[in-house]
Amino acid sequence: MTEFRDLGPIDCDLHPPTPRMAELLPYLDPHWREVMLSRGIDGLELASYPPGSPLSARPEWRGPGGRPGGDLALIQREVLDRWGTRRAILNCLHGSMAMFSEDMAAALARAVNDWIASEWLDRDARLAASILVAARSPELAVAEIERRAEDARFVQVLLLAGSELPLGRRGHWPIYAAAERFSLPVGIHAGSAFHQPMTSVGWPSYVVEDYVSQATGFQHQLLSLIGEGVFTRFPRLKVVLIESGVTWLPGFLWRANKEWRALRPEVPWVDRSPIEIVREHVRLTLQPFDSPPDASALAAVIGQLGSDDLLLFSSDFPHWQWDGEDILPKALPEVLRSRIALDNPRQTYPRLGVRLGKECVS
Ligand code: ZN
């Protein structure tokens, strides 16, 4: 069996440390820099997840003060060099994604994207990144997509699974139009703006409830995107569910397919079955891989997915989603390992520009 690092994998979910406000000040325009200083919030670290939670980072993957993700040297040593990573996509889950102020969120998203470009992408050519946007204002989000899409190192638009309105609703469509125009997949990452409960029955009390409930949040969003006709209106759009888990998908699709057959006159724009739509338009990152570890259970899940194209390798560094050297499930068939590690990611993210073998011959 080929060593994983010899595959030259593409890591589709890697988290840099969330920048502190003081680090973003040079990237803010004078007005917003003054706002942060005069309000005395220049010392904040705004993360959209609890930085101290054990799930957020392994002890050895924390920097000074326990900061999840450390610094570039740590990421190079523990992820890029360790796994022979060809390219990696940075997803910075900054707290501006949860802000009610559209203008402040947009100013901070812009600063975070520029910080990512200067402090990370300029320093290691293996790194790419998602574009952070102020999703509450599609107008401002589109402006940021258009600004940053000029830089091919930005390969995806980043949204959270816990949104204020279902992501299929028409208010979000300008974001999808811009993403499609620039060949940017829309990555929906686990997490929430916390304007709505993550569960469908109200607010939970504990991180474990929130995190387990993310899977149902992804189901709501996927059903919304299908039911509202997003993939019919944007036929080239790709959506990547990031850190969603995987095993909920077959059961969800069986139910969605069955009810669609009965109710399709209500949604005539859903012109194919949900299973067909998902296989063409939707991909899922690997970690956290939530199947039982034994080979037969894993084979059952893979078989139920019904396609070798859906899964994309992700380390989800620095989250504590896997142990030791088992970054891929041990029982994964050889052919699927290379599909997940390299082929599926490079087909999903054309802006990475990864060409192989014969494709390199002009
Ligand atoms: Zn992640």
Is the distance from CB of 304 to CB of 296 less than 8 angstroms?
Answer: no
Task: Find the 11 Cα to ligand 1 centroid distance in Å.
Answer: 11
Is the distance from CB of 325 to CB of 357 less than 8 angstroms?
Answer: no
Task: Find the 151 Cα to ligand 1 centroid distance in Å.
Answer: 23
- Please measure the distance between the N-terminal and C-terminal CA atoms of the chain and give it in whole angstroms: 31
SS (H, E, C) 67-127: CECCCHHHHHHHHHCCCCCCEEEECCCEHHHHCCCHHHHHHHHHHHHHHHHHHCHHHCCCE
On the question of pLDDT at 343 being above 90, the answer is yes
Task: Find the 286 Cα to ligand 1 centroid distance in Å.
Answer: 10
Task: Find the 239 Cα to ligand 1 centroid distance in Å.
Answer: 15
On the question of pLDDT at 55 being above 50, the answer is yes
Task: Find the 242 Cα to ligand 1 centroid distance in Å.
Answer: 6
Q: How far is CA 122 from CA 34, 114, 184, in A?
A: 27, 11, 20
On the question of pLDDT at 360 being above 70, the answer is no
Task: Find the 221 Cα to ligand 1 centroid distance in Å.
Answer: 17
Task: Find the 351 Cα to ligand 1 centroid distance in Å.
Answer: 20
Q: Residue 16: how many CB atoms within 10 A of its CB?
A: 25
pLDDT of residue 3: 85
Residue of 118, 147, 139 whose CA lies nearest to 131: 147
Task: Find the 33 Cα to ligand 1 centroid distance in Å.
Answer: 29
Q: Which residue has the higher pLDDT, 199 or 126?
A: 126
pLDDT of residue 302: 87
Task: Find the 307 Cα to ligand 1 centroid distance in Å.
Answer: 23
Residue ranges of domains in the chain = 4-353
| pLDDT-wise least confident of 74-83, 189-198, 270-279, 352-361 | 352-361
Radius of gyration in angstroms for the set of CA atoms belonging to the chain, rounded to a whole number = 20
Mean pLDDT value across residues 45-69 = 81
Q: Which residue has the higher pLDDT, 295 or 205?
A: 205
On the question of pLDDT at 361 being above 50, the answer is no
How would residue 79 be classed by pLDDT, with cut points 50, 70 and 90?
very high
Task: Find the 194 Cα to ligand 1 centroid distance in Å.
Answer: 17
Task: Find the 313 Cα to ligand 1 centroid distance in Å.
Answer: 12
Angle of helix 248-263 relative to helix 207-227, nearest 10 degrees?
A: 30
SS (H, E, C) the chain: CCCHHHHCCEEEEECCCCCEHHHHHHHCCHHHHHHHHHCCCCCCECECCCCCCHHHCCHHHECHHHCECCCHHHHHHHHHCCCCCCEEEECCCEHHHHCCCHHHHHHHHHHHHHHHHHHCHHHCCCEEEEEECCCCCHHHHHHHHHHHCCCCCEEEEEEEEECCCCCCCHHHHHHHHHHHHCCCCEEEEEEECCCCCCECCECCCCHHHHHHHHHHHHHHHHHHHHHCCHHHHCCCCCEEEECCCCCHHHHHHHHHHHHHHHHHHHCCCCCCCHHHHHHHHEEEECCCCCCCCCHHHHHHHHHHHCCCCCEECCCCCCCCCCCCCCCCCCCCCHHHHHHHHHHHHHHHCHHHCCCCHHHHCC
**Tokens 């396609």 found at:** 307
Task: Find the 128 Cα to ligand 1 centroid distance in Å.
Answer: 15
**Tokens 């990573």 found at:** 85
pLDDT tens string 89-142: 999 999 999 899 999 999 999 999 999 999 999 999 999 999 999 999 999 999
Of all residues in the chain, what percent carry a pLDDT higher than 70? 98
On the question of pLDDT at 1 being above 80, the answer is no
pLDDT of residue 104: 95
The CATH number, out of the four listed (3.40.718.10, 3.30.70.1380, 3.40.190.10, 3.20.20.140), of the domain defined by the range 4-353: 3.20.20.140
Task: Find the 241 Cα to ligand 1 centroid distance in Å.
Answer: 10
Both tokens assigned to 243: 């850190």
Q: Residue 268: how many CB atoms within 10 A of its CB?
A: 9
Task: Find the 49 Cα to ligand 1 centroid distance in Å.
Answer: 10
pLDDT tens string 317-328: 998 877 667 788
pLDDT of residue 357: 67
Task: Find the 220 Cα to ligand 1 centroid distance in Å.
Answer: 19
pLDDT of residue 63: 85
d(CA 58, CA 319): 6
Mean pLDDT value across residues 154-177 = 96
Both tokens assigned to 74: 């740590």
Both tokens assigned to 193: 């703006």
Bridge partners of residue 127, in order along the sequence: 88
How would residue 42 be classed by pLDDT, with cut points 50, 70 and 90?
confident
Biggest alpha carbon–alpha carbon distance for the chain: 60
pLDDT tens string 265-313: 999 999 999 999 999 999 999 988 888 878 888 888 888 998 999 999 9
